[in-house]
Amino acid sequence: MLRGNRTITEASSPILLFDSGVGGLTVLAELRRLMPAAPVIYAADLAGLPYGEKSEPKIAARVAGLLGRMSERYKPRLACIACNTASTIALGMVREVLEIPIVGTVPAIKPAAAMTTTGVIGLLGTAATIRQAYVDKLEAEFASSQSLLRYAAPDLVKVAEAKLRGETVDIAVIDAAARSLRAMPDGERIDTVVLACTHFPLLEHELREAFGPEVNFVHGAQGIAHRIAHLTKGQPFSADQSNRFVVTGDVQSAQLLLPAVKSHGFSDIEAF
């Protein structure tokens, strides 16, 4: 396979979607609408979940190391870090390590700033994401005349993972996140909420119930899918595609995700 900016010739070469868990399935759903024939390897680092409570050096080293080994094993044409926390911390390092295009995931502050009418935007993310200088940069560039209220809601990651395992959604956790964001100065004027974690769109229905009908939600899945489509435009894809869902950690416990995994076109869950 030819790498970097050169032409990819192998039609069977996959797109690698990487996330700490199952949040990246929200990106996959959008990608499937645009590129139904593309072979995809979805990699969930369940052994490292959750990323949001880890230190930046640990996240950067883990993500770069895993993506390096996965690139060697699966020979992807492109890799997408479908995780806001990993992207805001490790994207630069990964791009230095790998010789293929890397697409990251960043909080959708730009579209939120264009959408709000009150000028007050809420942002739900992990603790690691909301404190990143990258988020400061996005705010300064696209929402400098508006108010961006950030709230760390790591428990929403656990609730989203549980939902895909078929467990009952803990509405109290979702309500608590909504109340906490509303309780911040000017929080009652929030009309747009950025879901700055790919897990959170899995809970969009429940979040709408908690925030009320006057609040709009925005996340980056669609934009990421369009970026991947742009970078692979004109490349051949095998009609006999081989989609694989791989995980780090305990494969046996991950089997609870199998119904959700199958609904996204995968037949099984494999160990990495």
For 23, counting Cβ atoms within 10 Å of its Cβ (0-12 exposed, 13-18 middle, 19+ buried), the class is: buried
The pLDDT value recorded for residue 11 is: 87
Say if CB 86 and CB 132 are below 8 A apart: no
Task: Enter the CATH code of domain 109-219.
Answer: 3.40.50.1860
Catalytic site residue from 103, 194, 197, 224: 197
Split at pLDDT 50, 70, 90, the class of 65 is very high
* Residue 257 predicted with pLDDT over 80: yes
For 233, counting Cβ atoms within 10 Å of its Cβ (0-12 exposed, 13-18 middle, 19+ buried), the class is: exposed
* Residue 7 predicted with pLDDT over 90: no
Instruction: State the angle between helix axes of 204-211 and 171-182 in degrees (0 to 180), rounded to the nearest 10.
Output: 50
**Side-chain half-sphere CA neighbours of 41 within 13 A:** 22
- CATH 3.40.50.1860, the chain: domain bounds: 15-105+222-271, 109-219
Split at pLDDT 50, 70, 90, the class of 5 is very low
Please count the other Cβ atoms lying within 10 Å of the Cβ belonging to residue 80: 28
pTM: 0.91
The pLDDT value recorded for residue 238 is: 84
* Residue 1 predicted with pLDDT over 60: no
- 197 is annotated as an active-site residue: yes
Q: Which two tokens stand for residue 242?
A: 């081989």
Task: Enter the CATH code of domain 15-105+222-271.
Answer: 3.40.50.1860
Split at pLDDT 50, 70, 90, the class of 239 is low
Catalytic site residue from 27, 43, 83, 193: 83
CA dihedral 218, 133, 141, 19 (to 10 degrees): -30
- 80 is annotated as an active-site residue: no
pLDDT tens readout for residues 152-162 = 999 999 999 99
Task: Return all residues near 205 (Cβ < 8 A) that are at least 6 apart.
Answer: none
Averaged pLDDT, 12-40? 95
